[in-house]
Structure 1
Amino acid sequence: MAIEFIEGNASQGDLGDVNFANTLQENDIVVCVSAADQSELHDFQLEVFHGYTVLQSLSDPHGAVAYKFMGSSPDISFPDLGLGCFAFHVYRGVDTVAPLDAAYASSSGATGMPDAPISTSLTDGAQRVIIGALDDDNASGSVTMPTGYTNLQAASGGAGSPSTVMIAGAAAPTAGANDPAAFGGTGNDQWRAAHIILRPAVDPASAQGAAMVIGL
Protein backbone atom coordinates (compact mmCIF):
# COMPACT_ATOMS: atom_id res chain seq x y z
CA MET A 1 0.00 0.00 0.00
CA ALA A 2 1.48 3.36 -1.02
CA ILE A 3 1.95 5.97 1.66
CA GLU A 4 -0.03 9.12 0.93
CA PHE A 5 0.74 12.63 2.18
CA ILE A 6 -2.50 14.12 3.50
CA GLU A 7 -1.52 17.54 4.83
CA GLY A 8 0.99 19.58 6.79
CA ASN A 9 1.01 22.73 8.85
CA ALA A 10 3.15 24.78 11.22
CA SER A 11 2.34 27.50 13.71
CA GLN A 12 3.46 29.59 16.62
CA GLY A 13 2.21 28.10 19.87
CA ASP A 14 -0.06 29.61 22.51
CA LEU A 15 -2.67 30.57 19.91
CA GLY A 16 -5.08 27.68 20.41
CA ASP A 17 -5.43 24.26 18.79
CA VAL A 18 -4.88 24.15 15.02
CA ASN A 19 -7.65 22.36 13.14
CA PHE A 20 -6.66 19.80 10.53
CA ALA A 21 -7.59 20.90 7.04
CA ASN A 22 -8.90 17.43 6.18
CA THR A 23 -11.06 14.91 7.98
CA LEU A 24 -8.53 12.39 9.19
CA GLN A 25 -9.21 8.66 9.04
CA GLU A 26 -8.50 5.85 11.45
CA ASN A 27 -4.83 4.79 11.23
CA ASP A 28 -3.66 8.08 9.71
CA ILE A 29 -0.39 9.09 11.37
CA VAL A 30 0.59 12.58 12.54
CA VAL A 31 4.36 13.18 12.76
CA CYS A 32 5.36 16.35 14.58
CA VAL A 33 8.14 18.46 16.01
CA SER A 34 7.85 21.19 18.64
CA ALA A 35 10.34 23.63 20.11
CA ALA A 36 10.60 26.43 22.66
CA ASP A 37 13.42 28.53 24.09
CA GLN A 38 12.52 27.39 27.62
CA SER A 39 11.01 24.09 28.70
CA GLU A 40 7.25 24.00 28.18
CA LEU A 41 7.06 20.22 28.80
CA HIS A 42 5.96 19.60 25.20
CA ASP A 43 7.02 15.96 25.42
CA PHE A 44 4.97 15.39 28.59
CA GLN A 45 1.93 17.16 27.13
CA LEU A 46 2.03 15.22 23.87
CA GLU A 47 2.43 11.84 25.54
CA VAL A 48 0.28 12.13 28.66
CA PHE A 49 -2.46 14.54 27.59
CA HIS A 50 -2.74 13.82 23.86
CA GLY A 51 -1.68 10.20 23.30
CA TYR A 52 1.41 10.75 21.14
CA THR A 53 4.45 8.48 21.14
CA VAL A 54 7.54 10.60 21.86
CA LEU A 55 10.54 9.59 19.76
CA GLN A 56 12.87 12.20 21.26
CA SER A 57 12.72 14.85 23.98
CA LEU A 58 14.71 17.88 22.83
CA SER A 59 16.88 20.38 24.65
CA ASP A 60 18.42 23.54 23.15
CA PRO A 61 15.79 24.05 21.92
CA HIS A 62 13.40 22.34 24.30
CA GLY A 63 10.64 20.34 22.64
CA ALA A 64 9.80 16.95 21.20
CA VAL A 65 9.60 14.77 18.12
CA ALA A 66 6.56 12.51 18.24
CA TYR A 67 3.87 10.67 16.29
CA LYS A 68 0.32 9.49 16.78
CA PHE A 69 -1.94 7.07 14.93
CA MET A 70 -5.55 8.18 14.75
CA GLY A 71 -8.10 5.94 16.42
CA SER A 72 -11.71 5.20 15.51
CA SER A 73 -12.59 8.80 16.41
CA PRO A 74 -9.74 10.77 14.82
CA ASP A 75 -8.57 14.07 16.26
CA ILE A 76 -9.87 17.19 14.54
CA SER A 77 -6.93 19.38 15.55
CA PHE A 78 -3.32 19.48 16.64
CA PRO A 79 -3.04 20.53 20.30
CA ASP A 80 -1.75 23.89 21.45
CA LEU A 81 1.32 23.10 23.56
CA GLY A 82 1.83 26.61 24.91
CA LEU A 83 4.76 28.91 24.17
CA GLY A 84 7.00 27.86 21.30
CA CYS A 85 6.18 26.53 17.85
CA PHE A 86 5.31 23.28 16.11
CA ALA A 87 5.11 21.66 12.68
CA PHE A 88 3.48 18.45 11.51
CA HIS A 89 2.78 16.14 8.59
CA VAL A 90 -0.11 13.71 8.23
CA TYR A 91 0.26 10.46 6.25
CA ARG A 92 -2.04 7.60 5.29
CA GLY A 93 -1.02 4.01 4.55
CA VAL A 94 1.66 3.55 7.23
CA ASP A 95 2.18 0.21 8.96
CA THR A 96 0.45 0.52 12.34
CA VAL A 97 2.39 -2.38 13.91
CA ALA A 98 5.91 -1.29 12.91
CA PRO A 99 5.66 2.30 11.65
CA LEU A 100 9.42 2.96 11.55
CA ASP A 101 11.19 1.28 8.64
CA ALA A 102 14.61 2.09 10.13
CA ALA A 103 15.91 3.10 13.54
CA TYR A 104 15.11 6.68 14.51
CA ALA A 105 18.14 8.78 13.51
CA SER A 106 19.00 12.14 15.11
CA SER A 107 21.76 14.73 14.96
CA SER A 108 22.69 18.02 16.58
CA GLY A 109 24.95 21.00 16.09
CA ALA A 110 25.98 24.33 17.58
CA THR A 111 25.90 26.58 14.50
CA GLY A 112 24.15 26.88 11.18
CA MET A 113 20.87 25.19 10.22
CA PRO A 114 19.51 21.73 11.16
CA ASP A 115 21.06 18.90 9.14
CA ALA A 116 19.24 15.55 9.37
CA PRO A 117 21.52 12.48 9.35
CA ILE A 118 21.76 9.71 6.79
CA SER A 119 19.27 6.87 7.11
CA THR A 120 18.62 3.70 5.12
CA SER A 121 15.13 2.50 4.26
CA LEU A 122 14.58 -1.25 4.25
CA THR A 123 11.26 -1.49 2.44
CA ASP A 124 10.31 -0.30 -1.04
CA GLY A 125 7.65 2.39 -0.95
CA ALA A 126 8.69 3.94 2.36
CA GLN A 127 8.34 7.63 3.24
CA ARG A 128 11.14 9.83 4.55
CA VAL A 129 10.40 12.66 6.99
CA ILE A 130 13.15 15.06 8.04
CA ILE A 131 12.75 17.39 10.98
CA GLY A 132 14.67 20.35 12.37
CA ALA A 133 14.48 22.49 15.52
CA LEU A 134 16.55 25.65 15.88
CA ASP A 135 17.24 27.44 19.16
CA ASP A 136 16.96 31.20 19.71
CA ASP A 137 16.43 32.22 16.08
CA ASN A 138 13.27 33.54 14.44
CA ALA A 139 14.11 32.13 11.02
CA SER A 140 10.97 30.44 9.68
CA GLY A 141 10.58 32.94 6.83
CA SER A 142 13.98 31.96 5.41
CA VAL A 143 13.77 28.15 5.73
CA THR A 144 14.25 26.06 2.59
CA MET A 145 14.28 22.28 2.27
CA PRO A 146 16.93 20.00 0.77
CA THR A 147 16.74 18.99 -2.88
CA GLY A 148 14.43 16.03 -3.38
CA TYR A 149 12.15 16.90 -0.47
CA THR A 150 8.68 18.44 -0.57
CA ASN A 151 5.85 19.74 1.61
CA LEU A 152 7.99 22.08 3.71
CA GLN A 153 6.37 23.49 6.83
CA ALA A 154 8.16 25.91 9.16
CA ALA A 155 7.23 28.20 12.04
CA SER A 156 8.84 30.31 14.74
CA GLY A 157 7.56 31.32 18.15
CA GLY A 158 8.04 31.47 21.88
CA ALA A 159 8.78 33.94 24.63
CA GLY A 160 12.23 35.47 24.94
CA SER A 161 14.29 34.26 21.99
CA PRO A 162 11.93 32.48 19.56
CA SER A 163 12.73 28.98 18.33
CA THR A 164 12.10 27.67 14.80
CA VAL A 165 10.85 24.26 13.66
CA MET A 166 10.75 22.71 10.19
CA ILE A 167 9.57 19.49 8.55
CA ALA A 168 9.71 18.08 5.01
CA GLY A 169 9.21 14.72 3.33
CA ALA A 170 10.32 12.58 0.39
CA ALA A 171 8.98 9.36 -1.05
CA ALA A 172 11.43 6.44 -1.03
CA PRO A 173 10.14 4.10 -3.75
CA THR A 174 13.25 1.93 -3.59
CA ALA A 175 14.97 0.81 -0.39
CA GLY A 176 18.35 2.39 0.21
CA ALA A 177 20.34 5.13 1.92
CA ASN A 178 19.71 8.87 1.75
CA ASP A 179 21.79 11.62 3.33
CA PRO A 180 19.78 14.83 2.98
CA ALA A 181 21.51 18.18 2.82
CA ALA A 182 20.92 20.65 5.64
CA PHE A 183 17.85 22.84 5.69
CA GLY A 184 18.61 26.24 4.22
CA GLY A 185 18.00 29.52 6.01
CA THR A 186 19.43 32.37 8.02
CA GLY A 187 19.45 30.56 11.38
CA ASN A 188 22.74 30.14 13.18
CA ASP A 189 22.43 28.60 16.62
CA GLN A 190 22.15 25.28 18.42
CA TRP A 191 19.92 22.84 16.57
CA ARG A 192 18.45 19.36 16.64
CA ALA A 193 17.46 17.30 13.60
CA ALA A 194 15.96 13.89 12.84
CA HIS A 195 15.43 11.53 9.92
CA ILE A 196 12.35 9.31 10.21
CA ILE A 197 11.43 6.61 7.70
CA LEU A 198 7.82 5.42 7.71
CA ARG A 199 7.08 1.86 6.61
CA PRO A 200 4.19 1.26 4.20
CA ALA A 201 1.28 -0.86 5.38
CA VAL A 202 0.89 -4.26 3.75
CA ASP A 203 -1.74 -4.21 1.00
CA PRO A 204 -4.55 -6.53 2.24
CA ALA A 205 -5.08 -7.88 -1.28
CA SER A 206 -1.38 -8.72 -1.65
CA ALA A 207 -1.28 -10.34 1.77
CA GLN A 208 -4.33 -12.46 0.95
CA GLY A 209 -2.79 -13.51 -2.38
CA ALA A 210 0.46 -14.50 -0.69
CA ALA A 211 -1.45 -16.53 1.89
CA MET A 212 -3.35 -18.35 -0.85
CA VAL A 213 -0.10 -19.22 -2.66
CA ILE A 214 1.47 -20.52 0.56
CA GLY A 215 -1.63 -22.58 1.20
CA LEU A 216 -1.39 -24.36 -2.17
Structure 2
Amino acid sequence: MGSQENQKPETIKPLDPEEFRRQGHMVVDFLADYYGNVDKYPVRSQVQPGYLRERLPESAPHEPEPIEKILQDVQKDIVPGITHWQSPNYFAYFPSSGSIAGFLGEMLSTGFNVVGFNWMSSPAATELESIVMDWLGKMLKLPNEFLFSGGGGGVLQGTTCEAILCTLVAARDHMLNKIGRDNIGKLVVYGSDQTHSALQKAAQIAVCEI
Protein backbone atom coordinates (compact mmCIF):
# COMPACT_ATOMS: atom_id res chain seq x y z
CA MET A 1 0.00 0.00 0.00
CA GLY A 2 1.37 3.39 -0.98
CA SER A 3 0.73 7.01 -0.08
CA GLN A 4 -1.66 9.28 -2.00
CA GLU A 5 0.97 12.01 -2.13
CA ASN A 6 2.14 13.08 -5.61
CA GLN A 7 -0.25 10.68 -7.28
CA LYS A 8 -2.50 11.60 -10.20
CA PRO A 9 -6.21 11.01 -9.56
CA GLU A 10 -7.81 8.23 -11.54
CA THR A 11 -11.40 7.75 -12.61
CA ILE A 12 -13.28 5.59 -10.14
CA LYS A 13 -14.88 2.61 -11.83
CA PRO A 14 -18.15 1.56 -10.19
CA LEU A 15 -18.77 -2.13 -9.63
CA ASP A 16 -20.52 -3.90 -12.43
CA PRO A 17 -23.45 -6.13 -11.36
CA GLU A 18 -21.56 -9.39 -11.66
CA GLU A 19 -18.54 -8.17 -9.72
CA PHE A 20 -20.89 -6.81 -7.06
CA ARG A 21 -22.56 -10.23 -6.91
CA ARG A 22 -19.20 -12.01 -6.55
CA GLN A 23 -17.90 -9.73 -3.83
CA GLY A 24 -21.26 -9.65 -2.06
CA HIS A 25 -21.28 -13.45 -1.79
CA MET A 26 -17.81 -13.32 -0.26
CA VAL A 27 -18.85 -10.78 2.37
CA VAL A 28 -21.97 -12.78 3.26
CA ASP A 29 -19.87 -15.94 3.56
CA PHE A 30 -17.38 -14.08 5.76
CA LEU A 31 -20.12 -12.88 8.12
CA ALA A 32 -21.81 -16.28 8.17
CA ASP A 33 -18.51 -17.87 9.21
CA TYR A 34 -18.02 -15.18 11.85
CA TYR A 35 -21.42 -15.82 13.42
CA GLY A 36 -20.88 -19.55 13.18
CA ASN A 37 -17.84 -19.13 15.43
CA VAL A 38 -18.64 -16.00 17.46
CA ASP A 39 -19.07 -17.99 20.66
CA LYS A 40 -15.42 -19.07 20.42
CA TYR A 41 -14.05 -15.51 20.68
CA PRO A 42 -13.46 -13.84 24.04
CA VAL A 43 -16.42 -11.49 24.41
CA ARG A 44 -14.25 -8.56 25.43
CA SER A 45 -11.47 -7.60 23.06
CA GLN A 46 -8.00 -8.48 24.31
CA VAL A 47 -6.18 -5.69 22.44
CA GLN A 48 -4.63 -2.59 24.01
CA PRO A 49 -5.50 1.04 23.15
CA GLY A 50 -3.71 2.16 20.01
CA TYR A 51 -3.22 -1.37 18.67
CA LEU A 52 -4.74 -0.65 15.26
CA ARG A 53 -2.56 2.36 14.41
CA GLU A 54 0.45 0.09 14.75
CA ARG A 55 -0.99 -2.33 12.21
CA LEU A 56 -2.27 0.05 9.52
CA PRO A 57 -0.20 2.28 7.19
CA GLU A 58 0.23 5.95 8.01
CA SER A 59 -1.57 7.10 4.86
CA ALA A 60 -4.42 5.74 2.76
CA PRO A 61 -3.45 3.44 -0.14
CA HIS A 62 -3.47 4.97 -3.59
CA GLU A 63 -4.60 1.80 -5.33
CA PRO A 64 -7.66 -0.21 -4.22
CA GLU A 65 -7.09 -3.66 -2.80
CA PRO A 66 -9.01 -6.79 -3.84
CA ILE A 67 -11.87 -7.88 -1.61
CA GLU A 68 -9.94 -11.06 -0.77
CA LYS A 69 -7.11 -9.01 0.79
CA ILE A 70 -9.56 -6.71 2.56
CA LEU A 71 -11.35 -9.61 4.21
CA GLN A 72 -8.02 -11.09 5.27
CA ASP A 73 -7.12 -7.76 6.88
CA VAL A 74 -10.51 -7.60 8.61
CA GLN A 75 -10.01 -11.07 10.06
CA LYS A 76 -6.43 -10.34 11.11
CA ASP A 77 -6.71 -6.74 12.34
CA ILE A 78 -10.35 -5.83 12.97
CA VAL A 79 -11.96 -8.94 14.46
CA PRO A 80 -9.44 -9.08 17.35
CA GLY A 81 -10.44 -5.53 18.27
CA ILE A 82 -14.19 -6.18 18.39
CA THR A 83 -16.23 -6.50 21.54
CA HIS A 84 -18.59 -9.21 20.36
CA TRP A 85 -22.00 -7.79 21.22
CA GLN A 86 -23.83 -10.57 19.41
CA SER A 87 -22.02 -13.38 21.18
CA PRO A 88 -24.26 -15.74 23.20
CA ASN A 89 -21.77 -15.14 26.04
CA TYR A 90 -22.40 -11.37 26.08
CA PHE A 91 -24.48 -10.10 29.01
CA ALA A 92 -23.65 -6.36 29.27
CA TYR A 93 -25.36 -3.17 28.09
CA PHE A 94 -28.11 -4.20 25.66
CA PRO A 95 -29.33 -7.66 24.64
CA SER A 96 -28.12 -9.04 21.32
CA SER A 97 -30.18 -7.44 18.57
CA GLY A 98 -28.68 -8.84 15.37
CA SER A 99 -30.63 -11.17 13.11
CA ILE A 100 -30.53 -12.47 9.56
CA ALA A 101 -33.60 -10.38 8.78
CA GLY A 102 -31.90 -7.28 10.20
CA PHE A 103 -28.72 -7.81 8.19
CA LEU A 104 -30.57 -8.38 4.94
CA GLY A 105 -32.86 -5.42 5.59
CA GLU A 106 -29.83 -3.19 6.09
CA MET A 107 -28.37 -4.56 2.86
CA LEU A 108 -31.51 -3.63 0.94
CA SER A 109 -31.71 -0.20 2.54
CA THR A 110 -28.04 0.57 1.89
CA GLY A 111 -28.24 -0.84 -1.62
CA PHE A 112 -31.11 1.43 -2.64
CA ASN A 113 -29.35 4.34 -0.87
CA VAL A 114 -32.40 6.60 -0.80
CA VAL A 115 -32.76 9.74 1.31
CA GLY A 116 -36.17 9.83 2.98
CA PHE A 117 -36.33 13.38 4.34
CA ASN A 118 -39.70 14.01 2.64
CA TRP A 119 -42.27 12.20 0.52
CA MET A 120 -40.97 13.42 -2.84
CA SER A 121 -37.40 12.28 -2.12
CA SER A 122 -38.62 8.71 -1.61
CA PRO A 123 -42.36 7.97 -1.49
CA ALA A 124 -41.87 4.29 -0.61
CA ALA A 125 -39.47 5.00 2.28
CA THR A 126 -41.71 7.74 3.69
CA GLU A 127 -44.90 5.71 3.53
CA LEU A 128 -43.29 2.48 4.74
CA GLU A 129 -41.95 4.27 7.82
CA SER A 130 -45.40 5.59 8.75
CA ILE A 131 -47.01 2.19 8.21
CA VAL A 132 -44.39 0.39 10.32
CA MET A 133 -44.76 3.00 13.06
CA ASP A 134 -48.50 2.33 13.14
CA TRP A 135 -47.82 -1.42 13.32
CA LEU A 136 -45.52 -0.84 16.30
CA GLY A 137 -48.03 1.46 17.98
CA LYS A 138 -50.75 -1.17 17.65
CA MET A 139 -48.47 -3.88 19.05
CA LEU A 140 -47.84 -1.63 22.05
CA LYS A 141 -51.60 -1.03 22.31
CA LEU A 142 -51.14 2.75 22.14
CA PRO A 143 -54.26 4.93 21.87
CA ASN A 144 -55.34 5.68 18.32
CA GLU A 145 -54.27 9.34 18.59
CA PHE A 146 -50.64 8.16 18.75
CA LEU A 147 -50.92 6.58 15.30
CA PHE A 148 -50.59 8.20 11.89
CA SER A 149 -54.03 6.87 11.08
CA GLY A 150 -55.35 8.74 14.12
CA GLY A 151 -53.65 12.07 13.50
CA GLY A 152 -50.49 11.28 15.50
CA GLY A 153 -47.46 9.43 14.26
CA GLY A 154 -43.70 9.55 14.63
CA VAL A 155 -40.46 8.60 12.93
CA LEU A 156 -37.85 5.91 13.46
CA GLN A 157 -34.70 7.13 15.20
CA GLY A 158 -31.23 5.69 14.88
CA THR A 159 -30.66 5.34 18.62
CA THR A 160 -32.46 5.69 21.94
CA CYS A 161 -30.39 8.82 22.63
CA GLU A 162 -31.75 10.45 19.46
CA ALA A 163 -35.29 9.47 20.42
CA ILE A 164 -34.94 10.97 23.91
CA LEU A 165 -33.59 14.21 22.45
CA CYS A 166 -36.40 14.48 19.89
CA THR A 167 -39.00 13.78 22.58
CA LEU A 168 -37.53 16.38 24.91
CA VAL A 169 -37.31 19.05 22.21
CA ALA A 170 -40.92 18.37 21.19
CA ALA A 171 -42.07 18.66 24.83
CA ARG A 172 -40.01 21.84 25.29
CA ASP A 173 -41.42 23.53 22.20
CA HIS A 174 -44.95 22.50 23.10
CA MET A 175 -44.59 24.19 26.48
CA LEU A 176 -42.82 27.27 25.12
CA ASN A 177 -45.66 27.82 22.67
CA LYS A 178 -47.87 28.20 25.73
CA ILE A 179 -45.66 30.26 28.04
CA GLY A 180 -43.47 32.11 25.55
CA ARG A 181 -39.92 31.36 24.42
CA ASP A 182 -38.49 33.97 26.79
CA ASN A 183 -39.40 31.62 29.63
CA ILE A 184 -37.13 28.78 28.54
CA GLY A 185 -35.08 29.26 31.70
CA LYS A 186 -38.05 28.17 33.79
CA LEU A 187 -38.23 24.70 32.23
CA VAL A 188 -37.00 21.80 34.33
CA VAL A 189 -36.59 18.15 33.32
CA TYR A 190 -37.17 15.54 36.03
CA GLY A 191 -35.72 12.04 36.13
CA SER A 192 -34.90 9.44 38.77
CA ASP A 193 -31.37 8.55 39.86
CA GLN A 194 -31.68 5.51 37.58
CA THR A 195 -32.29 7.61 34.47
CA HIS A 196 -29.90 7.00 31.58
CA SER A 197 -27.23 9.65 31.03
CA ALA A 198 -28.76 10.30 27.60
CA LEU A 199 -31.45 12.39 29.32
CA GLN A 200 -28.85 14.71 30.82
CA LYS A 201 -27.17 15.12 27.43
CA ALA A 202 -30.53 15.81 25.78
CA ALA A 203 -31.38 18.40 28.42
CA GLN A 204 -28.09 20.19 27.81
CA ILE A 205 -28.69 20.29 24.06
CA ALA A 206 -32.27 21.48 24.57
CA VAL A 207 -31.07 24.15 27.06
CA CYS A 208 -33.22 22.81 29.90
CA GLU A 209 -32.35 22.41 33.56
CA ILE A 210 -32.37 18.85 34.89
Larger Rg: 2
- Shorter-chain TM-score bucket reads under 0.3
By relative contact order (CA 8 Å, sep 6+), the higher-ranking structure is 1
Greater share of strand residues, 1 or 2? 1
TM, length-normalised to structure 2: 0.21
Q: TM-score, normalised by structure 1?
A: 0.20
Larger % of helix: which? 2
